Amino acid sequence: MKVIIDNHLEASGLLCPEPVMLLHQQVRKMQPGQVIKVTATDTSTRRDIPSFCQFLGHELLTASEEEGTYIYVIRLGG
């Protein structure tokens, strides 16, 4: 089943804690069940974004890396 992306956060070039801070701001503007794709280059997002999802009850649908770019697809929890 194909996931529809409702929003995309481009955080490439930003360093910790900026990617997660921007993600938190963006998530506040969205509705539960919506999906956001995050693109980042900071290696700390490999730890920070899964922790963010777990702590706030969001579902990390995918986490991948392509040539130094980390891509996360997250479904917002309620």
**Range list of H helices, 1-78:** 18-28, 45-56
Q: Is 16 a catalytic residue?
A: yes
| Nearest residue to 73 (alpha-carbon basis) of 55, 60, 56, 58 | 60
Q: Which of 14, 16, 22, 63 is catalytic?
A: 16
Q: What sign does the dihedral 60-71-50-18 (CA atoms) show? A: negative
Residues noted as catalytic: 16
